[in-house]
Every structure is written in structure tokens, then in C-alpha cells.
Amino acid sequence: MNSKAKLSLRIEKSRRPISEIAQELRRLKASPLRIDDEKELPKPSVSDRPVKRLDQLEPLRLTRHRITQLLVRPAFEQAVTSCFVRVNVNGQGEQPEYRIAEIVGVEELGLGYFVDGIPTNITLRLRYNSVAMLHELNDISNMAFSLPEFQLWYDCCVNQGISPPTNSLIARKKIELYNALQSEAKALAVIKQTCTLNMRPAHRGGILERHGATYPWRLQHPREATLSTPKPPSNQDEELNLESESDESA
């Protein structure tokens, strides 16, 4: 057998039957389309999954009372950063409106102020509604997050492409907060004695506002005084008038 015959026989053996090719095409058509059949994208681990429920975010919530506890301890900025607070976003004298905000930084003011009797000039840079604003510690609420507030915060995160905190971040912050609260705190008397801040005059509202509460009613203005109208004469007055007229005629 010459070389040409051997080459043609080798080519015929390497060819696949048409029926086998058609069967392979039908199998590929029925299988789902994937970007890469050999390398599949790894699924995120449980520790890297972001929070999706209100109860999952609760471990990162800081109240004003808890913040004042951390304020008199070292590593305050590290402890509160990446935590969340319920903050009043309206100004003084307006109806309170609260948002869930993330603490992204800590800054200082030129003038000091009092928060729960502690002199300080610390403010928190809070991120909410796609903006980062400075807020004093008195703007932080002690109340828990409500479900509508959480839904508004979560929708803002989705619309703006902000990743919510993950389970691994929550676990790390819980350890940082625990260690910070276990450290030694400064005594309030020492803080007031060593304070060199120029304090801002405190706002004096009503007696309830001075104790941290609000009036449960609206102030009512007195009604305008109405013009006095003469009273109609009574029957006794009419009888007296008739008697006087009869005496005069007699």
C-alpha cells in the first residue's frame, strides 16, 4: 500500500459520523448557556453576605447613651466608625424626622457643647440619602430603628450601589465595641476639670425640653376678645320702666 492510500485511510478514521455530530449538537442546545463551562463563579460565603433584614443590622446600632459611654473611653473613632445611628435630620424647632445613617468619620467643632452633661466638641459625619453631613451627638436618638426607616435605607443602598454591611463586618465591629467598652473610662469630674473648650450657650426651651422631652400638645393662642353687645332688657326692667312712666303721668 502506497503512502497516498495510507493517508486517505487515516483521514477517514479521524472523521466523526454525522449522526454523532448531530447528537452532540442536540445535547449542547438543550444544556443551559454559561459564560465559561470550565470555570464557574464561586458563590459568596456566609460571612460575606450583606444584611437584608432589620434584625441583622441591629448589632451595629448605636444609641446616644452608648455613644456617650464610648466618648469617655479611648479609641472612640475606631469603635464608632462603620456603625449605624438613628439621627434627626431636621433643624431645631422643626418636626423631628429620623433616618438610618452610617458613621463614616469623626470631626471636631470650634466650640464645645454638652451632650448628656458631658462637655465635648465631637461631631459625627453621617451618610444618608446619598449625602454625608456633620451632626452633633444630641441629634442621635435612643430609640430603635423602625421598619419603614430600614426599608428606606436599604432602597437607597440598592439605588446608589452602596454595599450594605456584611456578616464578617458585623462580627468584627462587635469585638471592637466590646473591647472599647471594657477599657477604662475617664471620670466626668476629671473631664469637666480639664476641659478647655469654649462652650456654646445652651438653648433653653420649656421645662420639658430641658429634661430631654417634648410637649405632647400644640401651643394654643388665646382667642381674640369679642366686642361686647348690649343685653336685651329683661321683663323686670320693663315693669320698672312702666311704673316710672305711670308715676310721672299722675
Q: Please write the tens of the pLDDT for every residue from 130-140.
A: 889 999 999 99
Q: What are residue 28's phi and psi, to 5 degrees?
A: -70, -35
Q: Domain map of the chain by residue range? A: 48-194
- Give the model's pLDDT for residue 240: 54
Higher-confidence residue of 245 and 189: namely 189
- 15-23 mean pLDDT: 65
Q: Which residue bears the cell 436618638?
A: 141
Residues paired with 228 in a beta bridge:
none
- Give the model's pLDDT for residue 227: 45
Residue 11 in this model has a pLDDT that exceeds 80: no
Residue (of 61, 222, 21) closest to 149 by Cα position = 61
Q: What are residue 241's phi and psi, to 5 degrees?
A: -65, -40
- Give the model's pLDDT for residue 220: 52
CA 156 to chain centre: 11
Across all residues in the chain, what is the average pLDDT?
78
Residue 66 in this model has a pLDDT that exceeds 60: yes
- 126-130 mean pLDDT: 89
Hey, what CATH class is 48-194 in? Answer: alpha beta
What is the Cα–Cα distance from 181 to 117, expressed in whole angstroms?
Answer: 19
